[in-house]
Structure 1
Amino acid sequence: MDPAASAEPTRHVQVGLDGVHRPVHAWTPTVHAALERLRAAGVVEVPAPLALGAHEEVLGFLPGDAGAACWPHQVPEAGLVSAARLLRRVHDASAGWSWPPDAAWSQPVREPAEVLCHGDPGPWNMTWADGRATGLFDWDFCHPGPRRHDVAYALDWLAPFRPDDEALRWHGFAAPPDRGSRIRAFCAAYGTEPDRVVDLVLEVRLRTLDVVRALAADGVEPQAGWLAGGHAAEVEAGVRWVERHRRLFT
């Protein structure tokens, strides 16, 4: 949920010849079922669930640049647009699905539960090749919910809703981004209107912080470490910055 926190090593993720090995949580079986359904619907841009044990899962490897290597790809409008289209493809494939009452999710189901939300669709959780988003992985935070929540989460990082110095330092930009233009381009490519986008981004950001707090309270890493390291104060300071600079997002 926070690329700056380098979460994957904390989760003890290992990439082997047989796939990506990750620890199992209460929601992992539901995530595997979701991935199986997406791939059965033709969405091969998500990992294949290969094995599920008592303590470890194995997922198929998606080739391409990811993590910190994502940032140069998402700067050009073509990369930005490709991320929006990938997210729309995933959402459309899951529209109208129903889930059993005993399905376990890492965060609450949000209404209207119109699609399977990824829950963490930042560019670092996408694979990239030739300036295009080619895959979407790390589905631990998926849950049924409204499309607009995933769109807002993605825009938080792709616009980005961050100060210029951060955009230049680690978002891959060579000059301050035109955030309003990027928001409009992403929304047009996804097929939605950028209505109330600032309010929605802030709502999702604070709701995500609530999820981090809940997971941290259960001792889940990396969220427990983030909270101990001052993550909540950073998020709240970021919200105040966005409120002061709303003009940048129009």
Structure 2
Amino acid sequence: MAKWRLVGGGVTIVDDLVLRPVRPWTGAVHALLTHLRDSGLDCVPEPVGVRHDVEAVTFIPGDAGGDAFRHQLTIEGLESAARLLRKVHDATAGFEPPDRVEWAHSPVRGATTVCHGDPAPWNFVWRDGEAVGLIDWDHAYPAAPIDDVAYALDTFTPFRPDDVTVRDHRFPQPPERAARVRAFATAYGLGGTAGIVDRVIERQQQTVARVLSLAERGLDPWAAWCREGYLEELQARPRWTRSHRHLFE
């Protein structure tokens, strides 16, 4: 008998497969994941196929979603995610998407990297405090790697008020944010943190625009987020970061 569990958002895990609703960009994502797997990466899901508007990819065992937060609290956990993200970015080099492919977001002209688009702690797979996988590729699109780095810093540091850091990101107390920024940047191989807070602010603004764009297309969960007022929370984040940049520099 098949073992299955409902994850949420229309995602179901059945035995060793993750079943998800097909999106307009599923073909592009599957082509990218196939390229990464063919490049020797086992830290991303392997596409299995599409049937009756449901896509199937392989399941990577470990902690993800809400179970991920405890692993990324340490500097060592954070650094492991940065190294894995860099490995994935490097492996996207040479990827040539199929003709007339659609991405969730407009590709950046001249990009040589395909970004994950949502490299937050909950989309990494963790084992024993180490990031070993990167899942949920719906937001992938060609762009400069700093786009992903800024988004990861936004969520791993995190660029959030103290109460949100403790309540939602599961820190026992607000961390030394500047130290986490430096550690992630170094582990990724960024070569420094000059200007990084401004890049995070830009990325926070882009997130607002992208959620709104997907919502206007009538796609959930983004349309539901906007109806429920989540857009206002996203819009407040760049303002908060500007007024608290001293915490990160």
- Name the residue aligned to 1:23: 21
Matched residue SS, 1:22: strand
Q: Evaluate the alpha carbon distance shift between residue 206 and residue 177 of structure 1 in structure 2; reply closer, same or farther with a 3 A threshold.
A: same
2:236 maps to 1:225: no
Deviation at 1:18, TM superposition (A): 4.6
- In structure 1, what is the Cα distance between the partners aligned to 2:218 and 2:183? 39
Higher mean alpha-carbon deviation, 188-197 vs 152-161, is at 188-197
- In structure 2, what is the Cα distance between the partners aligned to 1:91 and 1:61? 21
Q: CA RMSD in A?
A: 1.4
Matched residue SS, 1:21: strand
The amino acid of 2:145's aligned partner reads R
Higher mean alpha-carbon deviation, 193-202 vs 72-81, is at 193-202
2:67 maps to 1:83: no
8 A contact 2:45–2:135 mirrored in 1: yes
Task: Choose the corresponding residue for 1:170, options 145, 168, 172.
Answer: 168
Higher mean alpha-carbon deviation, 8-17 vs 69-78, is at 8-17
- Name the residue aligned to 2:244: 245
Superposed counterparts of 1:188-227, under 5 Å:
188-192=186-190, 193-227=192-226
- In structure 2, what is the Cα distance between the partners aligned to 1:25 and 1:181? 38
Matched residue SS, 1:182: helix
- In structure 2, what is the Cα distance between the partners aligned to 1:44 and 1:56? 22
Q: TM-score, normalization: structure 2?
A: 0.94
- Name the residue aligned to 2:3: none
The amino acid of 1:239's aligned partner reads P
- In structure 2, what is the Cα distance between the partners aligned to 1:96 and 1:206? 29
Q: Evaluate the alpha carbon distance shift between residue 223 and residue 196 of structure 1 in structure 2; reply closer, same or farther with a 3 A threshold.
A: same
Residue ranges of structure 2 left out of the alignment (5+ in a row): 1-5
Deviation at 1:53, TM superposition (A): 2.3
Task: Choose the corresponding residue for 1:55, options 53, 56, 64.
Answer: 53
Deviation at 1:195, TM superposition (A): 2.2
The amino acid of 2:59's aligned partner reads F
Deviation at 1:140, TM superposition (A): 0.7
Deviation at 1:51, TM superposition (A): 1.6
Deviation at 1:98, TM superposition (A): 3.1
Deviation at 1:97, TM superposition (A): 2.8
8 A contact 1:29–1:52 mirrored in 2: no
Superposed counterparts of 1:69-148, under 5 Å:
69-148=67-146
After superposition, give the CA deviation of every residue in 1:131-154 in whole Å (9 maximum; x if it has no partner): 001100000110111010000000
- Name the residue aligned to 1:5: none
Residue ranges of structure 1 left out of the alignment (5+ in a row): 1-7
Matched residue SS, 1:65: coil
Q: Evaluate the alpha carbon distance shift between residue 204 and residue 112 of structure 1 in structure 2; reply closer, same or farther with a 3 A threshold.
A: farther
8 A contact 1:71–1:170 mirrored in 2: no
Matched residue SS, 2:27: helix
Deviation at 1:96, TM superposition (A): 3.7
- In structure 2, what is the Cα distance between the partners aligned to 1:226 and 1:10? 15
- In structure 2, what is the Cα distance between the partners aligned to 1:96 and 1:125? 24
8 A contact 1:10–1:221 mirrored in 2: no
- In structure 1, what is the Cα distance between the partners aligned to 2:110 and 2:166? 36
- In structure 1, what is the Cα distance between the partners aligned to 2:198 and 2:29? 29
The amino acid of 1:35's aligned partner reads L
8 A contact 2:166–2:172 mirrored in 1: yes
